[in-house]
Structure 1
Amino acid sequence: MKAWPAAVGAGALALWAALAAVILDMPAPAIDLAAAVQARLADSGVGHPVTAVLLNFRGYDTLLEVAVLLLAQVNMLGAGTVRRAPPLPAPSMLALAARATTPLTLMMAGYLLWAGADAPGGAFQAGAVLAAGLVLLYLAGIMPAWDAPGVPMRSGSACGFLVFLAVAALATPGGALLQYPASLAGALIVLVESALALSIGLGLAGLFLWLPRERGGQA
């Protein structure tokens, strides 16, 4: 049995070396994607190339990523009933820090969401910051673990995917999915990103906060 860790480590190292060799041996790309994105950036409705790719030019990828996150939540909740766990006991300094930073966390999430159209940021970053703030409140003993989600929580977790899907199906010309009208592209991307930020925040936090169960009165 002691040989297994060494064998696994050797296998992982060999796999890493093989992947590194393949990547280093890859030919130069035939298409300059950065130049192609910059050339069409004005048609995307946003001013940042990453946001343009994620929410416009390659919107299918982002839509499926959100679907995977939602499916992970559904599978986790389907694995068993999650019961309420009491808040974790925490030092007063941690609770004080959590209360003091909560408004800043919300402001940062809002800023990242809004700035994502023209600068680094966006729905995924804003959702991650929001989720981190919720988890910190739990770890500080201010907020209990979540019960199995009711209608408001389910709606919030699913709204990003549903809004994205609705925009893809209803707001695109000529029957082509995720090809926004040029005059509405910016507004539609802001709408999608706002819904995604809420869903990603609740989803990432939920993967942590729905897990604690009662075990003799402790989380």
Structure 2
Amino acid sequence: MKRLAGMLGALLFSLGLIGALFELPPAAIDLRPAVASNLAASGVAHPVTAVLLNYRGYDTLLEIAVLLLALFALLALGLERRLCALSSFEPPLALLARVAAAPMVVVAVYLLWAGAFRPGGAFQAGAVLAAAAVLLHLTGLLPGWMQPRAWLRWGLVGGFLIFLGVAAAMLARGALLEYPPAQAGALILLIEAGLTLSLGLILGGLFLFMSCDEGGER
């Protein structure tokens, strides 16, 4: 009965949220024309990427900082590892994980490249990389992580440092992350490439640092 009551409560809450979304008034300011009119100078052809990495790049910079802080807090607190991998693994499962991991890396690279002109980008690519790492861990092919060694630390913070370095360099132009139109595309690609690797490690680390399987190289 308690489970049924919980399910009914969750259903009613979800229906209430859906109803509230349908009753939202239209936005007071429509920014789509402004985004479209400046798209040619943004360095990319997709409006979402232009907003996230150019028009409002500092928001994205702070989002990366929040993810890093969450991971650092997990490491600093030394949380008990409760996400334990299975004690035994079926060979077909491990084989399928090996086969799936390589295409997932290819998909991540594609999402990074495609983000300039269609849905994609560093967050999606990093999430796919993290999913590949978690899949390999759950099938016993990748051990859990303890305290990160130097190479892993640089990988975790590298994307943020690249982003921060570009932002600092742009301050000479008088505004944070105001790219020169001629170099905007290359700078955004540089930032997203660094973020893809870092986000993959951060998101994967939020799982792997809490794993009870502590064997292997860190």
Query: Which TM-score applies when normalising by structure 1?
Result: 0.85
- Match of 2:72? 74
How do 1:136-151 residues align onto structure 2 when only pairs under 5 Å count? Answer: 136-151=135-150
Instruction: Indicate if the aligned counterparts of 1:172 and 1:181 stay in contact, CA closer than 8 A.
Output: no
Code of the aligned partner of 1:91: E
Aligned-residue offset at 1:17: 3.8
Instruction: Indicate if the aligned counterparts of 1:88 and 1:138 stay in contact, CA closer than 8 A.
Output: no
Any idea what the Cα deviations from partners look like across 1:139-179, whole Å, max 9, x if unmatched? 11111111210111111111111111111111355221011
How do 1:157-196 residues align onto structure 2 when only pairs under 5 Å count? Answer: 157-196=156-195
Change in 2 beyond 3 A, CA 1:88/1:159: farther
Number of equivalences: 212
How do 1:4-153 residues align onto structure 2 when only pairs under 5 Å count? Answer: 17=16, 20-21=19-20, 23-80=21-78, 88-153=87-152
Instruction: Indicate if the aligned counterparts of 1:130 and 1:201 stay in contact, CA closer than 8 A.
Output: yes
Structure 1 alignment gaps of length 5 or more: none
- SS class of match (1:171): helix
Change in 2 beyond 3 A, CA 1:14/1:119: closer
Structure 2 alignment gaps of length 5 or more: none
Change in 2 beyond 3 A, CA 1:88/1:186: farther
Change in 2 beyond 3 A, CA 1:146/1:174: same
Any idea what the Cα deviations from partners look like across 1:94-143, whole Å, max 9, x if unmatched? 11011112211111111110111111110001000000111111111111
Code of the aligned partner of 1:193: E
Q: Distance in 2 between matches of 1:97 and 1:18?
A: 39
Structure 1 vs Structure 2 CA RMSD? 2.9
Query: Which TM-score applies when normalising by structure 2?
Result: 0.85
Instruction: Indicate if the aligned counterparts of 1:87 and 1:144 stay in contact, CA closer than 8 A.
Output: no
Q: Distance in 1 between matches of 2:33 and 2:153?
A: 41
- SS class of match (1:178): coil
Instruction: Indicate if the aligned counterparts of 2:108 and 2:125 stay in contact, CA closer than 8 A.
Output: yes
Any idea what the Cα deviations from partners look like across 1:169-210, whole Å, max 9, x if unmatched? 113552210111111100000000001101110001001111
